[in-house]
A and B are shown apart, each in its own frame.
Chain A
Amino acid sequence: GENVEQHPSTLSVQEGDSAVIKCTYSDSASNYFPWYKQELGKRPQLIIDIRSNVGEKKDQRIAVTLNKTAKHFSLHITETQPEDSAVYFCAASIIGFVGNEKLTFGTGTRLTIIP
């Protein structure tokens, strides 16, 4: 089955600086890579996703890049703000094929923004 590894497990950055979180996956058939943000005591929520037919996607201050050959993808947050402090999870799945829709999550990165 799919195995997703995520690094680093904790990350502290100064407010205004950029943060990068990296994930690798094992199943070359995976074609959908979402990122979830979980604030303390709350539910995980989707913040951005990418499908394997594109290499990069941006949404305001966040962006995700995908390298299918190397089987890794990354989350980039620019101009970080205190409200970006949370745990971030990457995930991988195969969409479009019944029976392979489950998301396999990475172990999470606790991001702390230092004011």
Chain B
Amino acid sequence: DAGVIQSPRHEVTEMGQEVTLRCKPISGHDYLFWYRQTMMRGLELLIYFNNNVPIDDSGMPEDRFSAKMPNASFSTLKIQPSEPRDSAVYFCASSRDSSNTEAFFGQGTRLTVV
């Protein structure tokens, strides 16, 4: 398996534009997590899914953020409209099941909103 795959690796967008980040988890993993990493706040969990169902979205900062997982092999994190304070590295991670919780991270998407 190629591991967790995220796209794009880098995204630069203007304030107010819609941004969509994509993630393909490791095949066979039941859990998918979206994290945001900044210098000030470290690694923050935004939302996670179990078998494509959102379990906890309490970390989503506001209504401008939304996430979907239409099937076991794909998830999106959307920001609309984007703001400069959304600039961060966004990581997707997956883990096998509730007893094997090692999280495998993707390469991350570095988002810059200007």
Contacts and interface: CB of A to CB of B under 8 A. Distances in A.
A44 B33 CA distance: 13
A13 interface: no
Given A95-B99, A95-B101, A103-B101, A44 B31 contact: no
A78 interface: no
Given A46-B102, A99-B55, A105 B42 contact: yes
A5 B41 CA distance: 12
Contacts of B99: 95-96
Interface string A95-109: 111110111111110
A61 interface: no
A107 B42 CA distance: 5
B103 A108 contact: no
B42 A89 contact: yes
B45 interface: yes
Contacts of A107: 42
Interface string B27-55: 00001010000000011010010100001
Nearest to A89: B43
Interface in A1-58: 1, 32, 34, 42-46, 49
Question: Which label, helix, strand, loop or mixed, suits the secondary structure of the A interface?
Answer: loop
Contacts of A46: 102-103
Most chain B CB within a 10 A radius of its CB, from A1, A34, A98, A103: A103
A56 to B, nearest CB: 19
Contact of A102 (B45, B91, B108): B45
B23 to A, nearest CB: 12
B7 interface: no
Nearest to B48: A102
B98 interface: yes
20 contacts: A1-B58, A32-B101, A43-B105, A43-B108, A44-B43, A44-B91, A89-B43, A95-B99, A96-B98, A96-B99, A101-B31, A101-B50, A101-B95, A101-B98, A103-B33, A103-B45, A104-B45, A105-B42, A106-B42, A108-B43
